[in-house]
Amino acid sequence: MQRFEYFRLLARIQAGEASVEELAPAQEEYDNHFVDAPQWWEDRNGSRDRQ
């Protein structure tokens, strides 16, 4: 799967040349699905506390 365009889209968003709303349609094309993951956040934040 080619992801170069996905990373270019992220760079355009960061540069203000594209909007965050453009990520939603790209989820299927680049197999990136943004979902809420409470367990992931809990684990991530917990590991930061231990550092």
Is 22 in contact with 13 (CB distance < 8 Å)?
A: yes
Say how far apart CA 31 and CA 14 lie, in whole Å: 20
The domain limits of the chain are: 4-49
Per-residue pLDDT for the chain (51 aa), expressed as one digit of tens each? Answer: 577 999 999 999 999 999 999 988 888 888 887 888 899 889 888 876 655
Question: Which letter does DSSP use for residue 20 in this model?
Answer: G
46 residue type, one letter: G
